[in-house]
Amino acid sequence: MTSTLSRQLSARIEHWPIAGSFTISRGAKTEAVTVVAEVSHGGLTGRGECVPYPRYGETPEGTLAALQAMQEPLSRGLDRRALQAAMPPGAARNALDCALLDHEAKSGGRRVWNLLGRPAPRPCTTAYTISLGTPEAMAAATARAAHRPLLKIKLGGDGDGERIAAVRKAAPASELIVDANEAWTSDNLAQNLAACADAGVTLVEQPLPAGQDEALARIRRPLKVCADESVHDRASLDRLRGRYDAVNIKLDKTGGLTEALAMADAAQALGFEIMIGCMVATSLAMAPAMLLAPQARFVDLDGPLLLARDRDGGLRYDGSMIYPPEAALWG
């Protein structure tokens, strides 16, 4: 049995410029700030990447400190299974969970999906995100992306009916999903859902604020509604029934691939459709999420496409088609 006593953990903050800017209802940003964890032992290094999210009280510095604090437990033999109880769900645990999985796969000379007994990921279509803006700006951005089969449209509250109508006119053949990022209210919920239905939208993500989404259970929903900020890990699934039709699984919320896979299985057992989501980050953060794609109705792993550049050896994107990672990148 391989000793874990000499495992070394390193972590760092990285900055990745975004191509233009990325705007949602909570604001705009021009760079992605990620935290990378690396676990080294036996001449091999496993890597994982996360994106701390202020919406959940996370900062890059706090995430870095949380990771650095795990050096001693790792030296004492902490493994990926024990990690689930040793750290709370969130970005820091995601980076370390994925780094441990990557190292475990490399040490065994196997791909990570064989290690976990999961189906091998195959090439699949990812959504491509259109940032929030005026109807005219969003229509122009949509027209440039109208060749893509699946577009994810960021909305933000007042004027969303005009925005989605303009987007649909600019991309008549694309499948549309919408993400309101908690910006709607119980007063405009029905109106905005109707506007999305009129535009042929397939799915609306998180229309109401998490914890204030009870109105979804009281109305007739004209299209499917997906939980994002309202769902984190398996513990949050039960209260969603009757309010949501789908759940967006993100590794930064679940605290890594280990919990994300268990959550996908549990969500499907409860009748939810699965969406695989991401933050704006490099291919190192997208690669583990590819293992969830075989269970997903929607795959939204376009983070690297929104960057000015991806890391070397990143995932292969061919238009909106995303291909499984090479072992040198992850897993």
**Which amino acids are annotated catalytic?**
154, 250
Distance CA 105, CA 45 (A): 10
Question: Comparing C-alpha atoms, which of 147, 228, 126 is closest to residue 184?
Answer: 228
Strand 321-322, strand 317-318: pairing: antiparallel
* 8 Å CB contact between 91 and 64: no
Question: Comparing C-alpha atoms, which of 67, 20, 27, 65 is closest to residue 47?
Answer: 67
Residues 6+ apart with CB under 8 A from 203: 177, 178, 223, 224, 225, 226, 246, 275, 298
Beta bridge partners, 29, equal 22
Helices 60-68 and 91-108: angle between axes, nearest 10 degrees: 50
Distance CA 75, CA 331 (A): 22
- Please give the full DSSP string across 204-224, using - where no structure is assigned: EE--S-TT--GGGGTS--SSE
Residues 6+ apart with CB under 8 A from 320: 125, 126, 127, 128, 148, 149, 150, 302
* 8 Å CB contact between 282 and 47: no
Run of H or E including 263:
helix 257-269
- One-letter identity of residue 61: E
Strand 224-227, strand 128-130: pairing: unpaired
Residues 6+ apart with CB under 8 A from 40: 7, 8, 9, 10, 46, 103
Residues 6+ apart with CB under 8 A from 19: 306, 307, 308
